[in-house]
Amino acid sequence: MNKNKKDLLQSTSARKGKAGEVCMNRRRFLSKTGTYAVAASAVVLGGGLFAPDSYAAKKIGEKANTTLLKMARDIYPHDTLEDKYYTQVLTPMIQAAASDDKKLSELADGAKSLDQIASQLFGVSYIDIKSEKDRVSVLKQIESSPFFQNIKGALMMGIYNNPDLWPRFGYGGSAWEKGGYINRGYNDIDWI
């Protein structure tokens, strides 16, 4: 058995209880389909989404690997956020795809269709389109596909429901254990 794959699978199942449950309900809420787990913290590998020689990268293809990262950054563009916050959302999706042909083809075909549309409209592949506006026009064409919506849904959870990022958005998260805000600035404002 591929050693790399074993490690990846273990890390996925360890997260399943917590993140998987939340994600399931979030999808219920947003009426999505699919079974991708969203990780609040994930193994981040160097390079693209994965080291080029990793099992997962080989499965999905190196090209798709970079296309998906670009797409993720275009869906919720926060220029000051490091790539790792996007890759840690995509990583478990691709890991899950490694053992599920349906998910694998959704991702691989999705990435391919992006390139096809990009090529028709702009004569280059998706990642080579220079302007964000033009890339968005490509994404708009596949906006309602499960491929796009599953990635968007996972990103929403992975970016905005990520406690590691809350301080950067100025959101406080859980407060009861700190005594709430009654003595921590609930009425502080200096510009009114």
Partner 1 sequence: MSTKFDLNDDSLVVIIGSGAGGGTLANELAQKGIRSVVLEAGKRFKMDDIENDEWKMFGKISWLDKRYVVGPARIAKDFPNLPAWIVKGVGGATMHWAGVAMRFQEHEFKMKTTNGTVPGANVLDWPVTLKEMEPYYEKAEKKMGVCGTKATGMPFHGESSHYKVVKEGANRIGAKCEQATLAINTETRDGRPSCQVNGFCMQGCRIGAKWSTMYTEIPKAEATGKTEVRPQSMVLRIEHDKTGKVTGVLYADKDGNQHLQKARVVAVAGNSIESPRMLLNSASSMFPDGLANSSGQVGQNYMTHTTGGVYAEFEKPVHMYKSTVVPGIVHEWKNNDPGRGHVAGYELEILHLGLPFMSAFLNPGKGGWGRELADSLANYDKMAGFWICGEDMAVESNNITLHPTEKDQYGLPVPVVYKADHINDTRMRNHAYDRSKELFDAVGALKVNNLPPYPASHNMGTNRMSEHARDGVVNRWGQAHDIDNLFVSDGSQFTSSGTENPTLTIVALAIRQADYIADQMKKKAI
CB of 41 to partner 1, least distance (A): 15
Which one-letter amino acid corresponds to residue 40? Answer: A
Residue with tokens 């591929």: 2
SS3 assignment, position 96: helix
Per-residue binder mask for partner 1 (CB under 8 A), 29-68, x = binder: xxx-------------------------------------
Residues numbered 144 to 173 that lie near partner 1 (CB under 8 A) are 144, 149, 152, 156-157, 159-161, 166, 169-173
CB of 18 to partner 1, least distance (A): 9
Would you count residue 22 as binding partner 1 (CB under 8 A)? yes
Answer yes or no: are the C-beta atoms of 68 and 127 closer than 8 Å: no
| φ and ψ at residue 13, rounded to 5 degrees | -70, -30
| Burial classification of residue 95, based on how many CB atoms lie within 10 Å of its CB (0-12 exposed, 13-18 middle, 19 or more buried) | buried
H helices of the chain, in order, are 3-15, 21-30, 55-60, 62-75, 83-98, 101-122, 132-141, 146-155, 166-169
62 versus 137: smaller Cβ distance to partner 1: 137
Would you count residue 131 as binding partner 1 (CB under 8 A)? no
Binding site for partner 1 (CB under 8 A): 21-22, 24-26, 28-31, 74-78, 132, 136, 143-144, 149, 152, 156-157, 159-161, 166, 169-176, 179-182, 184-192
